[in-house]
Structures are given as C-alpha cells and as structure tokens.
Amino acid sequence: MQTLNDLLGESKIFLNREVLSPHYTPKKLVFREKEINNIEKAIAPALKGMRGRNLFIYGKTGTGKTSCANYVIEEIKGIPNTKARISYMNCRLYSSRFKVLSKIISDHLPTYSKRGYGAVDLYERIRSWIEEDSKIFVVVLDEVDMVKDLDDLIYTMTRINSDIKAGGLSIIGISNKISFKDELDPRSLSTLYETELVFPPYYATEIYAIIKERAKQGFAEGVIDDDILHFVASIAAKEGGDARLGLKILSKVGEIADERGLTQITMKEAQDAAKYAEDEIVYELIGTLPEHQKLVLYSIALMTQSGGAYKKLVDGVDTYLFSGEIYNRYKSLSESMKKEPKSERWYRKYLSELEMQGLIASFESGKGIRGHTKLIKLLSPAKKTKDIIEKGMFNPEA
C-alpha cells in the first residue's frame, strides 16, 4: 500500500499527466483538419460582423467534436478587435433554457443580478446587450440533446435574431445523437437555418497515432512500448473508433503502474486498465441518456434482474426478453411516474439507439416463438445499470 509520501513523490511513470486526459486540447488536432475548417467556415461571417450560420455537429462519443469546437473557440479568442462573443456550455450541467440564459448572463454580464429574474427578463437583457454595439454572439451548446425544454431554448435563441436591429446570434449545437432533432417541434426546426457536420469514427491507425503522440508527452521516456499502444488503440477502434476511450485507458494504465510501484508498464496493467475504462465509459453513457431512453433501459434491467414477472428466454447465462413485453413494462413505468409514454415507433427508435451505443443487443426470433418477434439482451450488468439509472432519475443529488 502506498503512503502519503509515495503519493506526493515524483512519479516514475508520468511526465505530464494532463496531456493524457480526454479533456486536454492539444495545440494541433490531427485527422480533424477538414472538420475544423468546416467549423471555421460557419463561424467566419460572425468574425466579419455578419450573422453566422447555425451549425449542428454530430458524431459518436470520442470522435473529437468537443475538442475541435474548443480549438476553434481558442482561435477566435486570439483574434484582436473582433465583435464576436462566445459562450460555451456543457448541457449536462446547463440542462434547461433558464440555466442556459443564466450562464450567458454570468459569462458576459456578471454585474447583472440573476436573483429573482425570470427567463423573459434574462432574454431581454441578452437581446439589448447584443444590440447595443452590434455584437455577434456565438453560443456553443455541447450535448445539446440533454436540454429538457429544448424546443423553448431553440425558439428563444433564434427569436433574438428577429427582435434585434443590429448584431446577431449563432448556435453551435453538439450531439452524440443525430436523431435528437426528430423530437423537436416542427416550429422550432423551421426557425433554424442550419449546417450539419458529421464527425466519422477514428480508424485504429488514427487512434494509434493520437495516443502515441500523447504518450510521448505524458509518460516518462521508455516506460511504455509500442505493443501496448497498439493494444489500447485496437480496443478503442473496436468500440466504435472512440479516441476518448483510448486516452482513458492510457491514463489508467499509468495510474495502475504508479500504484504498483513499477517503472515499466506491462500488458497486465494495460489489460486491467482496459477493463476499468470500458466499464467507466458504459456507466457514464447510461447516466447521460435522455429520460425516456433511460426508462426503456431501466425496464430491460428490471426484467433481466427479476426473472419471474415476465416471460424470457435463457440461453446458458444470457437472458433474452421479448420486445413487446419490455414496451409494456416501459409504459407502466412511465405512467407510474406520471409521464406520457412514447409511441411504439419512438420505442423502436430508442431500442435502435441503445443498440448503436452498445448497451443492448437485439435478435430476430425466427419462426416458432410467437410467430416472428424481436428479442432483446442487456449487455451491461443488470444491477449496476439499474443502480445508475435510479441514482440519476430518483436521487440526482446523490
């Protein structure tokens, strides 16, 4: 066991731990030059004092969306005499129209007291602030699909451009889910003039190059070899080209080696780190699902765990559930929470998204089982899945 002195002493493994963090933005983002250029093109009119376009960025977790947006934000901050102003916010934290408006006020008008003001008052103050010297305001909404009253927010943001005589506002929305707009009211969609940018997953060779460069800066010389970097890159590529997962594994590898008092990282540390980081990513993903997707997944977890309330098929250690019975459980659960259940069409879409994110697997039953039906299997442990959803939905402050 390490003592406090050990923990405070100089690491034999790390040179600069910060560069191994998925949240670190390097000076150069490799393999994303085209995407950065497209963001710059959307922002460029604002830097010339014209209204910029609204831009929506999509892509799976770990494809560099946030890093590229932050890279461009830092570029803009370095431009002298620009009338452009920017607010960046992660909508996991700023998850309502009121919170977004309050964050804008906090960023740019800190002397304006928020206490006691409603959304309309905040809106009017932001509108007049933009108009007073023809500012161009860019609001970056990361994980925009997490906003609970997204229709109201989109309408409010785009309404500013109709109400002001000078200046303008542009939205950059970032989401892991390309389908989230399907839930927007058509009136909200009609107010948006948008450009869409899809970030593709990284290839294994690209992830290897990214983590090799970070390892070179983050680890002491000679503590990690190429075989381990290839191993980490292959896992991240297999999980949908997720460079963030690769960096999480890389950072955890170093922590484990440090805790074990090693001076050289071995494959054992890499395998242990991979298991830990994969679990962490899955549970983090579950915690940030939209509400009704959570309720569908929660229904699957409850049914997988209970074993008796609903019919299921067991093949060895795997449990397969009937899709129709999951939907019935989801409807009952929604109604018990006084929430309007979504239609079967939306339910099927939720299943597809949960499967795309690697949380469930689905199989067509073939003939002989209730005719032709879909079977669903939970891919993460039922108890942990249930606990994470309960903590987020029923005890959010825990």
1 pLDDT tier (thresholds 50, 70, 90): low
CB within 8 Å of 85: residues ≥ 6 apart:
108, 135, 136, 137, 138
Residues facing residue 320 across a β-bridge: 313
Q: Are 375 and 366 in contact (CB under 8 A)?
A: no
Q: What is the CATH number of domain 4-17+203-287?
A: 1.10.8.60
d(C-alpha 232, C-alpha 249), whole Å: 7
Classify 291-394 by CATH class: mainly alpha
The per-residue pLDDT for range 71-108, each reduced to its tens digit, is 999 998 888 878 889 999 999 899 999 999 999 999 99
Question: Taking the model in full, what pTM does it have?
Answer: 0.78
Share of the chain above pLDDT 90, in %: 53
Taking phi over 0 as left and psi of -120 to 50 as alpha, with beta for the rest, 64 belongs to: left
d(C-alpha 250, C-alpha 16), whole Å: 13
Residue intervals of the chain classified under CATH 3.40.50.300 are 33-198
Q: Name the helix (H) or strand (E) containing 239.
A: none
Two structure tokens written together for 331? 């409807």
Two structure tokens written together for 229? 């970097």
Residue 23: strand, helix, or coil: coil
Q: Does the structural domain 33-198 have CATH classification 3.90.1150.10? A: no
d(C-alpha 25, C-alpha 31), whole Å: 14
What mean pLDDT comes out for the span 157-176? 89
Residue intervals of the chain classified under CATH 1.10.8.60 are 4-17+203-287
Residue 292: which of 226, 339, 244, 260 has the closest Cα? 339
Strand arrangement, sheet containing 318-322: 312-315, 318-322, 374-378, 360-364
Least confident of 83-97, 112-126, 176-190, 269-283: 176-190
Q: Is 161 exposed, middle or buried (0-12, 13-18, 19+ CB in 10 A)?
A: middle
CB within 8 Å of 44: residues ≥ 6 apart:
52
Residue intervals of the chain classified under CATH 1.10.10.10 are 291-394
CB contact burial 203-241 (16+ within 10 A = b; e otherwise): ebebbbbbbbebbeebbeeebbeeebbebbbebbbebbb
Q: Are 105 and 112 in contact (CB under 8 A)?
A: yes
Orientation angle between helical segments 65-77 and 33-47, nearest 10 degrees: 40
The per-residue pLDDT for range 340-366, each reduced to its tens digit, is 999 999 999 999 889 877 789 888 865
Residue with tokens 């309960």: 390
395 pLDDT tier (thresholds 50, 70, 90): low
d(C-alpha 171, C-alpha 192), whole Å: 9
318 pLDDT tier (thresholds 50, 70, 90): low
Q: What's the pLDDT at 335? A: 95
Q: What's the pLDDT at 366? A: 59
Residue 141 backbone phi and psi in degrees, to 5: -110, 95
Q: For residue 396, give the DSSP letter.
A: T
Got the DSSP string for 145-186? GG-TTHHHHHHHHHHHHHH-SS-EEEEEEEES-TTGGGGS-H
Q: What's the pLDDT at 182? A: 74
Residue with tokens 């309404």: 159
Distances (CA, A) of 146 to 12, 37, 142, 175, 361: 41, 26, 9, 9, 24
d(C-alpha 376, C-alpha 351), whole Å: 9
